[in-house]
Amino acid sequence: MTTVAEKWAEVLGRIGVRYVFGIPSGPWVEYMEALRTSDVEFVLVSNEASAGFMADVCARITGIPGACYGTFGPGATNLSTGVGGALLDRSPLLAFTHEMSDSMLGRTSQMAIDHQALYRPITKWTTRLDADHVEETLLRAVNVATSEVPGPVHIGLPSNLGTMNAGETAFQFESPQQPAEADSTVLDKLVAVFSAAKKPVFAVGLTAVRAGVQALVLKIAENHGIPVVLTPMAKGLIPEDHPCYAGVLFHALSNHVAETHRQADLVLGVGYDPVEFNYEDWLPNAPLVHIDTKPADLDKSCHRLECDVVGSLRPSLERLAELPPQKNKWDMDALAERRRRMFEGFRPQDGVFGPTAAVSILRETLPPNGILTSDVGAHLHVIGQLWQTPAPGSLLMTNGWSSMGFGIPAAIAAKLCQPNRPVACVVGDGGFLMMVGEMATAKRLGVSVVFVLLTDHNLELIRIKQERKNYEIYGTPLHGEGYDSAHTYFGVPVLQAHDAASYRSALGEAFATGGPVIVEAFIDPKEYGDLVLKGNK
């Protein structure tokens, strides 16, 4: 007979899951043993939140749901941070936690909380596994997780379940539900509204990346000469040197981006997911056309929703792509000048080793096919605007969930999934302190990742906000007097850099070294204030 744990591992392998990330508990040993003899590998991490982030990134890169595990109580609550990220960053994920056996449900017991209640608000579905429906439950979970809008599913594993005999009931896999084509009358209105506009602008978001409509967006923009603004997680959908590129919303120096979208007489939100930024936070005094798989989330008392095109993105955009080129009033030379001034604003000051120098030199060093992961912090505002991103998915960030601690586990997972591509991570010293334990994971796995640690000794983004309100700097310094950098963290070497020349040299050495390496760049953070303050204006 096949045990539940063995059946569980076999089905995960058949789905295409390659890794399960987590920290074991007693009842988990049955599942680890099943994984040991399967095509799926268990990866021990240092923090269950990392397990969730790693599973999220595996899903983004492979398109197959990632998988992660946490034990009773604190394991489940730690894991929930990464699972929440998958919900708001739109990644299909299977989260497993051990729960009390049926006979102990509702009883007072060590480490026992209601995992179903915990995970219900941060997943698309939560359920408990039973011996007779292992395959059915897992395949339904995949269906739910990968259906539009993708996200996480939680499956509780009763503590005594792993050694039970699995039922033999077969279950037919159902294809994930995908959105239908938008109504033809709505598409007709879309064409009419678009054709009447004199200064339309595209605002392209996360759903457009997931839908793979990059070529259509570029075709329409080029045919009609329309500026394109991006949300941060849509970076790479249009090249930064493209004549229609207008920049990224809400990241550093996005005041230059606003100079464009504030002129628009029509905004076309293409795959725009408000989980990154609500429309109201930036929308000009112009009507909105929303083209997405879900209806527009808009305060209609403040802004006019001219057309809500709900359905599959591709056929909706194909209607616009069929139109002959139309004249409009955009001055593309002026757009090019705004783009030039924006990037010129990131030029590092002579003699100053700050975040713009650190990001620019890293961009020169990381090969074009490389993957960069970024943690949350002031540096992300710089990366989000400045980083030249050749394709969607080559810059990985969290902007829906926006949790510090994402960058390091994301880089490890990216390298596991793409072993032949160079991978780097930029993390501030705040995020590094949260996830420094994963250096042990990186070392044990032997992943060749360059971790760029930007040390400025503060939670810089919060410090900037304190300064903006003329508050005293309080509660944001990270290090005490006499900070002394380590030479290694859990066997991962640290290369120090105090200026541009030593930083460039350290990066060259790090990328030439096998295994994980930390480049600790001691930067002057003064640039942040000016760059971030000029965002969202």
DSSP of 155-189? EEEETT-TTSBPP----PPPPPP-PPPPPHHHHHH
Distance CA 419, CA 445 (A): 12
pLDDT over 80 (residue 443): yes
User: Which element (helix H / strand E) includes 270?
Assistant: strand 266-270
Instruction: Tell me 253's DSSP state.
Output: T
Instruction: Select the more confidently predicted residue: 180 or 174.
Output: 180
Residues 6+ apart with CB under 8 A from 379: 355, 358, 359, 426, 428, 454, 460
| Six-digit token string for 465 | 């906000």
- What is the pLDDT averaged over residues 191-205? 98
Which amino acid does the sequence have at 525? P
pLDDT in tens, 28-50: 999 999 999 999 999 999 999 99
Distance CA 22, CA 80 (A): 12
- What is the pLDDT averaged over residues 48-66? 98
Give the pLDDT score at 468.
Answer: 86
Percentage of residues of the chain with pLDDT beyond 70 = 99
492 in helix, strand or coil? strand
Which amino acid does the sequence have at 425? C
Set out the domains of the chain in order of their start, with CATH numbers. Answer: 4-158 (3.40.50.970), 184-341 (3.40.50.1220), 346-533 (3.40.50.970)
Contact in structure between 393 and 414 (CB atoms under 8 Å): no
pLDDT over 80 (residue 103): no
Stretch among 62-66, 221-225, 476-480, 507-511 having the lowest mean pLDDT? 476-480
Contact in structure between 431 and 425 (CB atoms under 8 Å): no
Distance CA 374, CA 377 (A): 9
What is the average pLDDT score of the chain? 95
pLDDT over 60 (residue 536): no
Q: Band of the pLDDT at 511, cuts 50, 70, 90?
A: very high
pLDDT over 60 (residue 537): no
Q: Band of the pLDDT at 461, cuts 50, 70, 90?
A: confident
Q: 149: cis peptide before it, omega within 30°? A: yes
Which amino acid does the sequence have at 506? A
Give the pLDDT score at 178.
Answer: 83
- What is the pLDDT averaged over residues 229-249? 97
Across the strands, what pairs with 265?
none
pLDDT over 90 (residue 377): yes
pTM of the predicted model as reported, rounded to 2 decimal places: 0.96
Give the pLDDT score at 535.
Answer: 66
**Apex 451 CA angle, 449 and 456, nearest 5:** 175
Q: What's the gap between Cα 378 and its chain centre?
A: 16
Q: Mapped to the 3 state alphabet, what secondary structure does 353-418 carry?
A: CCHHHHHHHHHHHCCCCCEEEECCCHHHHHHHHHCCCCCCCCEECCCCCCCCCCHHHHHHHHHHHC
pLDDT in tens, 444-453: 999 999 999 9
Give the pLDDT score at 484.
Answer: 86
Give the pLDDT score at 358.
Answer: 98
Give the pLDDT score at 168.
Answer: 75
Contact in structure between 377 and 461 (CB atoms under 8 Å): yes
pLDDT over 90 (residue 111): no
537 in helix, strand or coil? coil
Give the pLDDT score at 481.
Answer: 83
Q: What's the gap between Cα 195 and its chain centre?
A: 34
Stretch among 206-210, 331-335, 527-531 having the lowest mean pLDDT? 527-531
- What is the pLDDT averaged over residues 457-474? 89
